[in-house]
Chains A and B, each alone.
Chain A
Amino acid sequence: MAIPLIYNVRSVRARWTSTIVAVLGIAGTVGVFIAMLSLAHGFKATLVASGSPGNALVMRAGSPSEMMGGVTLESIKVIADAPGIARDANGPLLTQEVVGVIPVPLISTGTDANVQVRGVSPNVLEIRKFAKVVQGRMFAPGVSELIVGKNASKTYRGLTLGNVVDFAGGRWTVVGVFDAGGSAFDSEVWCDSHILNEIMKRPANIFQSVTVHLQSPDSFQTLKDSLTTDPRLNVDVIREIDYYAKQSTTMTKLITVLGGLVAGIMAIGAVFGALNTMYSAVSERGREIATMRAVGFGGSSVVFSFLLEALLIAFIGGLLGCLAVLPLNGLTTSTMNFQTFSNLAFAFKITPVLLMEGVIFALVMGAVGGLLPAVRAAAMPVATALRSL
């Protein structure tokens, strides 16, 4: 027969000081667990959002990142004719790109950080359809004008609409601010790729990567087969979304490993706290337990009841931990993207799944912390326990 749950709820309330110890320990652990995972999650989401499944990236074969690529203008002409690429009235939807980094002071610290500057084709907004110019206008082809991502505009000094900035030996006017839907492009600065090549004194007809919009996501294989078998080309074709997902792996792994270690160490501490609380609960209530046994509750009911109590405490702790980290959701931070050596802004992303994982983590800690004390409670000899007070 089961012991009513209300018994546990009342005893948790009656011994609230020692309950708080366990609840706080578990809440802290769950908070850290969720915070770290949401950080890794946010970083990954930002990069993954940068790629759309309807786009493909063409780079020189073997390049791990577009910064190290090299595609000549002749190759681009070949690529433009390949099957599977979407077209509009002005021809194939294709942007030939060059990326570089420029040091620009951060507004927050005043020290330089690397901003990724991307030379693109003027029709880039047709290819990256999620990007929209929200202030000002698109840059004009052939002149040194910039449009800046909304995060870049907020993070760096001087990247505001109408401002003139000097970099790479050129003088640029910021003519627009674009919103790329929370992707990595929001941390970038875009301009005409021909002008960027010219000003950065790079070879005029070499670009680092080409991004094309596919007729449909399914035409990727057609395009890939056609380009990789073409003897005139030596290129890799990769879905844009896969490319950016891969970029996020190092940092995601770093955060996950570090966060996992910290949360793991804390979990041990929290389990100790839970054990302590439950053991003292058991020893304080020796007479109560014995009474329950005496009136006919079985040993397993006692184990179950105490385990339930530990789970209840853990559940409260888990919920508290979730609530404590919720304000972090959407908070923007930035770090270096190892693959591009440039600064990337991203936000904590707390999802319902993460919260649920946090609560499950709490319940596991509660179960581990509650089991031994519960068994001890059930194993207490009834007669001696009744006599002891």
Chain B
Amino acid sequence: MKYSRLIFANLLRKKVRLILTIGSFAVALFLFAFLAVVKDAFGRGADVAGADRLVIINRTSIINTIPLSYRDKILRIPGVKAITHNNWFGGVYKDEKNFFPQFVIDPEAQRKVFPELIVPDDQWNAFLKDRQGAIVGARTAQRFGWKIGDRIPIKTTLYGGGAWEFNLDGIYHGKRPQDDETQFWFQWDYFEEKIPEGVKGQIGWYVLRLDSPDDAVRVAKAIDGEFANSPSETKTQTESAFAANWVKQFGNISFLILSIGVIVFFTLLLVTGNTMAISVRERTSELAVFKAIGYSDRAILFFVLAESLVIALIGGVLGLGLAMLAIPALGKALNGLLPALILAPAVLALGLVVAVAVGIVSGLLPGISAMRMRVVNALRRV
């Protein structure tokens, strides 16, 4: 690169402007990464869902229960590999703002249906033996600083109210970064023992695993058919449909945040690109001198483009690098308010592409006009 010294000399001509331009580029890309991560956090669910899992809820609504006695009938339907049942406990730890999902689980089957949520065998065995045992996701454990062996009171207003005591026997981790690590599981037997007579034998929803995802439609129809016209009719759907529906209900919020963000991102880029263009325009007469002493039109275009590309790249890398540092910290700070924030490599790659594209576009316009200008006119302007 025989011109590299020239390009760098030009870049460093106004250091404050260079730093500010790189800085605003970095801010724009940081914002880009942040918005992408937030969008991903809101829309999770659907891509965490297993293709081979079905969710069965009461046809009336998610908050109505289904009899436990349905389990054996469902297990007899061909194509069903394993089934677990959950209840929503709806409790809080110490204070109402410490909210997180607690599920009553069927300890026999939970691990078979959710193999991606991993509990070490020794912890799981301790949990099985402990009637008041509980397993908690790593994110929630970290949020409240819980360790294995802790005794945890969970306050609830359902099922007669009061605080239920649990022993923390294990912590589960998701296999993939997007897996939900906020749940709190405890034993069905303990739950059944403590709840009032009238609501015993009722579960919130079933989750089942299929032998093959291809069977989903057939099995779902068979289950809903089996319980049609019974007191508790069921609605069976794939886990991804269930999750997608849930996510859609948050609805426009994430859409709004995103559309605002996208407009803003492009404004920032426009602004930054414009600054770069101005700095080229200021040097019109210099570029004319280059042309006058024999540099080709192409070389001129190259100078301008290279300069804006370097700014865009440095700014982009800086912004995305900052995002890589800041987003895990933000995720920690917002634990409990937002789902886990994950910065995917694809976002970084896309961010770099956007940065380069803006660099090229903002260099191209002034570059072309510099290339086309007539030397005589430009020199006369001084």
Contacts and interface: CB of A to CB of B under 8 A. Distances in A.
Interface of A: 17-18, 20-21, 24-25, 27-29, 31-32, 35-36, 39, 60-64, 67-69, 100-103, 106, 109, 111-114, 167-169, 200-201, 203, 250, 253-255, 257-259, 261-262, 265-266, 268-269, 272-273, 275-276, 279-280, 283, 333-336, 341, 343
Contacts of B253: 39, 255, 333, 335
B149 to A, nearest CB: 29
B109 interface: no
Given A100-B63, A335-B249, A262 B231 contact: no
A279 B334 contact: no
B96 interface: yes
Contacts of A259: 257
13 contacts: A25-B24, A28-B263, A31-B264, A64-B96, A111-B248, A168-B61, A253-B337, A254-B338, A269-B24, A275-B16, A276-B21, A276-B24, A335-B249
A333 B62 contact: no
A67 B157 CA distance: 10
A272 B27 contact: yes
Contact of B248 (A17, A113, A279): A113
B263 A334 contact: no
B190 interface: no
B258 to A, nearest CB: 10
Interface string B229-260: 00101000000000011001111110011001
Given A32-B264, A64-B96, A169-B60, A333 B17 contact: no
B264 A343 contact: no
B271 A268 contact: no
A238 to B, nearest CB: 13
A169 B60 CA distance: 7
B34 interface: yes
Contacts of A336: 249-251
Given A111-B245, A262-B264, A273 B30 contact: no
Given A35-B260, A262-B257, A335-B253, 4 more contacts: A101-B62, A169-B233, A265-B27, A269-B28
B267 interface: yes
B38 interface: yes
B261 interface: yes
A114 B158 contact: no
B320 interface: no
B27 A68 contact: no
A68 B90 contact: yes
Contacts of B24: 25, 269, 272-273, 276
A114 B17 CA distance: 53
Interface string B40-83: 00000000000000000000111110000000000000000000
Contacts of B99: 250
A276 B20 contact: yes
Contact of A114 (B14, B30, B61, B330): B61
B17 A279 contact: yes
The 7 A-B pairs of least Cβ separation, nearest first, read: A269-B27, A272-B24, A28-B267, A333-B252, A276-B20, A336-B249, A335-B253
A269 B245 CA distance: 37
A330 to B, nearest CB: 14
Contacts of B330: 261
B251 A334 contact: yes
A262 B34 contact: yes
* Secondary structure class of chain B's binding surface, majority of residues: helix
Interface string B182-226: 000000000000000010000000000000000000000000000
Given A39-B256, A265-B27, A343-B251, A279 B63 contact: no
Contacts of A112: 245
Contacts of A261: 34, 330
B141 interface: no
A265 B268 CA distance: 11
Contact of A275 (B20, B38, B270): B20
Contacts of B271: 21, 24-25, 269, 273
B61 A20 contact: no
B60 A200 contact: yes
B153 interface: no
Contacts of A250: 99
A14 to B, nearest CB: 14
B305 interface: no
B274 A101 contact: no
Contacts of B321: none
Contact of A203 (B157, B198, B263): B198
B115 interface: no
Contact of B20 (A60, A103, A253, A279): A279
A333 B252 CA distance: 6
B280 interface: no
B250 A335 contact: yes
A188 to B, nearest CB: 14
B61 A100 contact: yes
B102 to A, nearest CB: 14
Contacts of A21: 271, 274-275, 278
B120 interface: no
Contacts of B264: 28-29, 31-32, 262, 266
Contacts of B20: 272-273, 275-276, 279
Given A17-B278, A18-B278, A21-B274, A266 B60 contact: no
A167 B31 contact: no
A276 B61 contact: no
A257 B268 contact: no
A211 to B, nearest CB: 18
B331 interface: no
Nearest to B92: A64
A35 B263 CA distance: 12
A262 B261 contact: yes
Nearest to B57: A103
A25 B231 contact: no
B318 interface: no
B279 to A, nearest CB: 9
